[in-house]
Amino acid sequence: MWDYSDKVKEHFFQPRNAGVLADANGVGDVGSISCGDALRLMLKVEPETDIILDAHFQTFGCGSAIASSSALTEMIKGKTLDEALKVSNQDIADYLDGLPPEKMHCSVMGREALQAAVANYRGEVWSDDHEEGALVCKCFAIDAVLIEETIRANDLTSVQDVTNYTKAGGGCSSCHEGIEEILVKVMSERGEAFKPGTPAKEEAKPAGMTNLQRIRKIEAVLEMVRPQLKRDGGDIELVDVDGKTIYVNMTGACAGCQMEALTLQGIQQKLMEELKEFIKIVPTKAGALSRATCHP
């Protein structure tokens, strides 16, 4: 059975804003019925201000699909359309205190319904750019077409490369055999032989980002979380970036705080979203001497 958070269960058993919204002026219907999820998002937008006055949903789907829909409507009510569009699928998952990795696509569907509903309100045509191929990675819903194209475009040679670039294979790892087969195929096209055990590319950073840009991006993320840390009497500083490991120094009340690991995990998650790659965040002064507490 899935290990759903209490928040997911609560939003499933008592969904908010379920049912038809009679005077909706923006409707988004998205779904993948073969995957067992479909969602209609209905918005009532105030034309003068672009503010979402009300949002309702109807969902065909599993527990986390219904909970994600319910959470989404709660999150966007009262926001302007532009503000609402900034809600990412990760935000939906965070709002629900996380979703099992195999269920992240439920939050993606919510995000797509929002785009579709806003497009509908604005009189635009929304189309999804998703390529439909045979699913390889079921945890992150990555298909063979995307994996093949990514291998081709970046001359990838190992399963780890594919995971770094597409996320495929980063979950339960049962698709590694399938990824290897695609590697064998694409590599033979370019006259190479797939060799198991080939190390991953040194720096699998997203195309086009220089080291400097990457460090700036990391600093920007740290700036974002800094106010929160300061509120609790702590701070964070960037020490070094070594490939996929980001070293930081937790200072003030944060150093040695019992919540340090949790805080770092949250920051790591944010960094991964922004950098679009897997990284590891490591504190340089683990368990510092001062045993201050964040919440006296």
Partner 1 sequence: MEGIYFDNNATTRVDEAVVEAMLPYFTEQFGNPSSMHSFGNKVGLAIKKARMQVQELLGAEHDSEIIFTSCGTESDSTAILSALKAQPERKEIITTTVEHPAILTLCAYLEKEGYKVHYLKVDSKGRLDLDEYRKLLTDQVAVVSVMWANNETGTFFPVVEMAELANAAGAMFHTDAVQAVGKVPLNLKDTKIDMLSVSGHKLHAPKGIGVLYLKRGTRFRPLLRGGHQERGRRAGTENTTSIVGLGKAAEMALEAMTFENTEVARLRDKLEAAILAKVPRSFVTGNPDNRLPNTSNIAFEFIEGEAILLLLNKFGIAASSGSACTSGSLEPSHVMRAMGIPYTAAHGTVRFSLSRYSTEAEVDRVIAVVPEIIAQLRKLSPYWEGDGPKEEAFAPTYA
The amino acid that residue 36 corresponds to is G
Q: Give me the least distance between CB of 65 and partner 1, in Å please.
A: 7
By CB under 8 A, is residue 78 in contact with partner 1?
no
CB-count exposure of residue 18 (10 Å: 0-12, 13-18, 19+): middle
By CB under 8 A, is residue 29 in contact with partner 1?
yes
Q: Which of 5, 16, 25, 35 lies at the binding interface for partner 1 (CB under 8 A)?
A: 35
Q: Which stretch binds partner 1 (CB under 8 A): 76-84, 124-132, 158-166, 220-228?
A: 124-132
Show the site string, 217-236: x = touches partner 1 by CB under 8 A, - = not.
--------------------
By CB under 8 A, is residue 112 in contact with partner 1?
yes
By CB under 8 A, is residue 59 in contact with partner 1?
yes
Q: Give me the least distance between CB of 108 and partner 1, in Å please.
A: 8
Say which residues have a Cβ less than 8 Å from residue 94's Cβ, sequence separation at least 6. none
Structure token pair of residue 180 = 């290897």
- 216-237 as b/e: b if 16+ CB within 10 A: eebeebbeeeeeebeebebbbe
Distance of CA 103 to the CA centre of its chain: 11
The amino acid that residue 182 corresponds to is I
Q: How far apart are CA 292 and CA 296, in angstroms?
A: 9
Q: Which of 31, 169, 234, 283 lies at the binding interface for partner 1 (CB under 8 A)?
A: 31
Q: Which stretch binds partner 1 (CB under 8 A): 55-63, 196-204, 222-230, 261-269?
A: 55-63
By CB under 8 A, is residue 122 in contact with partner 1?
no
Q: Which residue lies nearer to partner 1 by CB, 107 or 263?
A: 107
Q: What separation, in Å, do the N-terminal and C-terminal C-alpha atoms of the chain show? A: 38
**38, 72, 91, 180 from 27: Cα distances, Å:** 13, 14, 21, 42
Is 35 marked active-site?
yes
Cβ atoms of 292 and 256 closer than 8 Å: yes
| Pairing outcome for strands 51-60 and 245-252 | unpaired
Binders of partner 1 among residues 80 to 109 (CB under 8 A) are: 102-103, 105, 108-109
By CB under 8 A, is residue 60 in contact with partner 1?
yes
Q: Which stretch binds partner 1 (CB under 8 A): 58-66, 91-99, 157-165, 267-275?
A: 58-66
Q: Which of 23, 47, 123, 127 lies at the binding interface for partner 1 (CB under 8 A)?
A: 127
Cβ atoms of 105 and 37 closer than 8 Å: yes
Is 62 marked active-site?
no
| Pairing outcome for strands 142-143 and 234-242 | unpaired
By CB under 8 A, is residue 61 in contact with partner 1?
yes
By CB under 8 A, is residue 123 in contact with partner 1?
no
Binding site for partner 1 (CB under 8 A): 12-13, 15, 18-19, 29-40, 58-66, 102-103, 105, 108-109, 112, 116, 126-128, 130, 132, 135, 138, 141
Active-site residues, by number, are 35, 106
